[in-house]
Amino acid sequence: MKTVIMFITSWCPYCKQAFSFMEEVKKENPKYEDIEIKIVDEEREPDIAKQYDYYYVPTYYVDGVKVHEGVPSKDIVRKVFEKACS
């Protein structure tokens, strides 16, 4: 299983929405429970954030490849998790 890196900010409403979607998707499919998700708050960890090429949060990287950037949906979260499982 590949590690997911998720870039967020604490004040972003879409990041909060993404966390909700992630919980829902994990409840729907227990195989996603074991996915390691490294949360990087770009304001608290700017040195890490600067190493990646993105503009909007939330942004998901799987195995070093950007999978999604910006407004999330439940379907997008599912696709991110599927990439992590493949």
Give the chain's domains with CATH numbers. Answer: 4-85 (3.40.30.10)
Residues in Cβ contact with 39 at an 8 Å cutoff, skipping those fewer than 6 apart: 6, 8
**Distance from CA of residue 63 to its chain's centroid?**
12
- Mean residue pLDDT of the chain comes to 97
Residues in a beta bridge with 69: 59
pLDDT given at position 6? 98
d(CA 5, CA 61) in angstroms, rounded, equals 5
Per the structure block, which two tokens stand in for 58?
């939330």
| Per-residue pLDDT tens digits for 5-42 | 999 999 999 999 999 999 999 999 999 999 999 999 99
What pTM was computed for the model? 0.95
Residues in Cβ contact with 15 at an 8 Å cutoff, skipping those fewer than 6 apart: 8, 9, 57, 58
